[in-house]
Amino acid sequence: MANATTAQNGFLEHLRRDVLVVMQSLFNLDEDEHALLSEVKLGVLRSNATQRHGATRWQRQSDGSLDLQVVDLHPALLVVEWRAYALFVLFHEFLHVVGHRAHDATFRDLERRWPDQTAAQQGKAFTHARRLARARWHWVCPTCEQRYPRQRRGSGRYLCKACKTVLVDVPVKDIQ
């Protein structure tokens, strides 16, 4: 977890408001759920995360119970271009907050009720964008020219997903 800036907090609060409106209409939230979602602290993940886009954190109390701490979103989601996906990620985390802890079949059913299913499918694109932004190497396929942006060398250990050729490391500084 990192500290959110004032601008990030403002963005997060607008997302919260919009997600709450949709969840209210989908699930007819009860008073407790509404209070929980209105009051949970929102924050940002460390910006070097690529695969993790949101997180709901709980802390175990001395009596063994779990206390809700914070819902974190990836800081790179807090821009206009990714806003639709950010709403979906916050919705996903809010399902955890109201008690659906596991990604089980029930959870996936609830998730599919999010009205913007196009945005719901943007996880891979966001991961790809994060990897591009952080990449120091491109693992390049000499056969089909597919590129895989990564922070580390592949050192001949990885195959092209498309054609199974061994990928070659090219430093990003040689590409730009």
Contact residues toward Zn ion (CB under 5 A) are 141, 143-144, 146, 160, 162-163, 165
Could you tell me the smallest distance in angstroms from the CB atom of residue 141 to Zn ion? 3
Write down the least CB distance from residue 9 to Zn ion, Å.
22
Say which residues have a Cβ less than 8 Å from residue 118's Cβ, sequence separation at least 6.
84
State in angstroms the smallest separation of the CB of 170 from Zn ion: 14
Based on CB atoms, which residue is closest to Zn ion, 53 or 130? 53
Burial class for 90, CB neighbours closer than 10 Å (0-12, 13-18, 19+):
buried
For Zn ion, the closer CB: 103 or 136:
103
- State how far the alpha carbon of 151 is from the alpha carbons of 73, 77, 122, 127, 140, in Å: 22, 20, 22, 13, 13
Cα–Cα distances in Å, from 105 out to 22, 70, 119? Answer: 21, 24, 20
Residue 21 or 162: which CB sits closer to Zn ion?
162
* Least spacing, CB of residue 156 vs Zn ion, in Å: 14
> Smaller CB distance to Zn ion: residue 127 or 165?
165
Cβ-based neighbour number of residue 44 at 10 Å: 24
Q: Give the residue with the Cβ less far from Zn ion, 143 or 151.
A: 143
The distance in angstroms from the start CA to the end CA of the chain is: 32
CB of 6 to Zn ion, least distance (A): 27
| Pick from 120, 113, 116: nearest CA to 27 | 113
